[in-house]
Structure 1
């Protein structure tokens, strides 16, 4: 029968991505090549593994049974390759990393050069999403998540914490004056998030002693958008240090109500499924990122 690894890989990637087109993009092949690989595999097994619906491909009962075996074989080969690399004390292979766009831009991207020089055989694939993703569905090895975690089915590693601060541009404060107490914010243009509402709770105390929840004069779904609005002098904003560190260092943004701001930090975790063959390259990446963050970034 002589089933090939390429056929097994095509089958598992099509299953994970939900389409032949997506699988072809991920594997760097043509859709016709992926289709032929699936046809050969089904022919060799003399069974149908996938059926096409109006929306996507779905596993047959036989396909679901065979998928577990196919995954084990592919993972065993990847693990063998990884072990050979480990013998040379040099992690190797592709590592797919997903993070929110601001964290990718302000933290990960500046560290990529140093990481690649240290681990030249690790092939990074960087993707950005502002929503929480399904790691398996998006074929992601490790994702960076900011804030408290809710999913207990994945392995998580705390990389560090980033403090939240109230900030504005010097130009905005020159035009509108600098607030001296929390109640002064009512006369200012406040920049906030469209969702979730918790991001519009600032580390300040209102007159009734409760945590201040702002009503934004201008809202955005992205922290990076709010950062640019603040830099352009459109108002006062609450953002995390990891994305405003350089702005504050260069004086483009300055703290507002610093003495009244309570210390609040957001945890930054790396999350991934336990997967033996990926341990070496995940570990070296996370070690490097957390080392650099601890040294200079947070």
Structure 2
């Protein structure tokens, strides 16, 4: 049996709480997890886990071995990382977290061009609007809009996240072009289902009622709202990165430019490391070079 694999499996079982979670984490079957644990116990000549149909617990020997095994595996990971640092070109797996829309329309294409330049890098991009824990979840880099989160992280400014209000030329021809925020009350305003009342449609200079009328069109996806706007469903308030090509091609027309919501800063955040890996430093430089020109507020 591979000693390190057995130790890694046992640690995954303890940290995951059961064989099923360990199997998912290691991408093997629960049967194989059980086999590794049994072989490890046979080799050590000691029972490490007491299992019932409902739960499992560590034996005294298991508790001692668990702590030592974790330290041993960490030493192995440090040794592997030290070799990777010696490489002159970026390589290895790069785990990145980014907000859904910005990640899809900005980070994903740039990650693709980065891989073309550095084919030894494997990219794992997670698109989510939640704030991930870089240390606990093993991310190398996170893109954050507004709130930065953990103060121990290094943060580098990237750009501004600008919102736009726009509509299709057909919609404007049929309903007119809004010139002031008050005009919105007589228009069909598309709304995201995550918004509540005026939570989403925050525009400068609005002094009307405290709540918007019930929206005529809602969707739980920004791209779905974009497609509806292109088809003439109404006014759209979404990030500029989502509709930049549509604006450039004339499929959508921007309105109410002086009354747009306030832009928010976008930062790249990553863990402090006196010797960051080439895969990270090169990717950060790539993002800043190609997405780092601040948009006008």
TM bucket, shorter chain: 0.7 to 0.9
Give the length in aligned residue pairs. Answer: 293
What does residue 259 of structure 2 align with? 260
Q: Which residue of 1 aligns with 2:190?
A: 191
More strand by share: 1
Measured in 2, the distance between the counterparts of 1:14 and 1:39 equals 12
Q: CA deviation at 1:152?
A: 3.9
Runs (5+) with no aligned partner, structure 2: none
TM-score by length of 2: 0.77
Query: C-alpha offsets along residues 158-193 of structure 1, whole Å, 9 cap, x if unaligned?
Result: 333221221222222222211111111001111223
1:39 maps to what in 2? 38
Change (3 A) 1:130 1:72: same
Q: How has the CA–CA distance of structure 1 residues 3 and 135 changed in structure 2, closer, same or farther, with 3 Å as cutoff?
A: same
Map residues 98-137 of structure 1 onto 2, 5 A cutoff: 98-135=97-134
Higher gyration radius (CA): 2
Specify whether residues 17 and 125 from structure 1 end up closer, same or farther in structure 2 by C-alpha distance, changes over 3 A only: farther
Q: SS at the partner of 2:285? A: helix
- CA distance in structure 2 between the partners assigned to 1:61 and 1:243 by the alignment: 56
Look up the match of 2:143.
144
Question: What is the rounded CA distance, in whole Å, between the counterparts of 1:26 and 1:272 in structure 2?
Answer: 23
Provide closer, same or farther for how the CA distance between residues 177 and 50 of structure 1 changes in structure 2, counting only shifts above 3 A.
farther
Gaps of at least 5 residues in structure 1 are: none
175-184 or 146-155, which deviates more: 146-155
- Which one is further off, 138-147 or 60-69? 60-69
For 2:5 and 2:120, how far apart are their aligned partners in 1?
22
Q: Distance in 2 between matches of 1:39 and 1:176?
A: 72
Do the aligned partners of 1:75 and 1:277 also contact (CA within 8 Å) in 2?
no
Secondary structure of the corresponding residue to residue 189 of structure 1: coil
Residues 52, 229 of structure 1: CA spacing in aligned structure 2 closer, same or farther, 3 A cutoff? Answer: farther
Aligned-pair Cα RMSD in Å: 3.8
Name the structure 2 match of 1:289: 287
TM-score (ref. length: structure 1): 0.77
Alignment check: 8 A CA contact 1:16 1:139 kept = no
